[in-house]
Homo-oligomer: A and B are copies of this chain.
Amino acid sequence: MQLIRSVKALSAWRRKLEREGVVVGLVPTMGALHAGHRALIRAARLSCDAVVVSLFVNPRQFGPGEGLARYPRRLRQDASLCRAEGVDVLFVPSREDMYPAGFGTVVTVPGPSRRWEGEARPGHFAGVATVVTKLMALVRPHLAFLGQKDYQQTAVIRRLVTDLGLGTDVRVRPTVRDPDGVALSSRNDYLTAMQRRAAPVLYAALKVGRAALLAGTRSGVRIRKAMQRVLSSEPAVRLEYLAICDPETLEPLRRVKHKAVLLGAIRIGKVRLIDNLVVRR
């Protein structure tokens, strides 16, 4: 595995592949890799000749007080996971290299960014869209692999890749969960043991929503209430939002027709957790 630390070296590596007809896959990450990332890397290996994992804790997608400074950084562990999984390039650019002096371009995707995480975290999706556009432009992957756990993020990225004609096939892979149903996330590490015991309630609520939907409930409000009842059974949890949305626009659905995404965000203590389920009737 090559560890590439500069934009320039990455571009040179990419250019060399150009004439060889190599299929390149990208797994964009912020590091602190877990089994969810491992599943993305494995999916990339199955359909690509060369797999690039990018590791960049993107300051532009953190709001003030959102923990940029304390975001877990463990390059050595991350590199050994990548090596073990047969990653070809681990791309770890510096902040100065990604955002040199004078940097001023902003990519936004107002539609799918507007609600939910976009409301709770102003500027977050502009940061995501900008860095992903740059990563895509540098790596020029044929395929990119994203985890469904950050559903709204996948919708924003799919939209911008299509809109800007970036030529990348975006593959969204299922959320990897702990045995009790909690979606893997670096944020889970911030939970105390007691808080961790409350965390499964979010997935439980989403499953109740899915069950209601599959049993024939079409009203968004009723599905939402069923999910909310589950959440309110857990006093340690504060609800941020629960929503039944169109899977592309992320606008809330009054009535579900064919397909919906159920989105949820909660707070346990100071830790904010999100999860989702996509349901087809």
Contacts and interface: CB of A to CB of B under 8 A. Distances in A.
A103 B160 CA distance: 8
Copies of this chain, tallied across the complex? 2
Query: Among the interface residues A109, A140, A167, which one has the most CB atoms of the partner chain B within 10 A?
Result: A167
Contacts of A104: 109-112, 159, 163
Interface residues of A, number: 35
A216 interface: no
A106 B164 CA distance: 9
Interface stretch (A129-137, A183-191, A253-261): A129-137
A98 to B, nearest CB: 9
Interface of A: prevailing SS: mixed
B134 A165 contact: yes
Contact of A137 (B102, B167, B248): B167
Contact of A248 (B102, B107, B129): B102
Interface in A100-121: 100, 102-112
Contact of A108 (B11, B106, B165): B106
Given A19-B18, A19-B21, A21-B19, A165 B102 contact: no
A164 B111 contact: no
Interface string A29-42: 00000000000000
Nearest to A113: B104
Which 6 residue pairs are nearest across A and B when measured between Cβ atoms? Answer: A105-B163, A104-B111, A105-B160, A138-B165, A137-B165, A19-B19
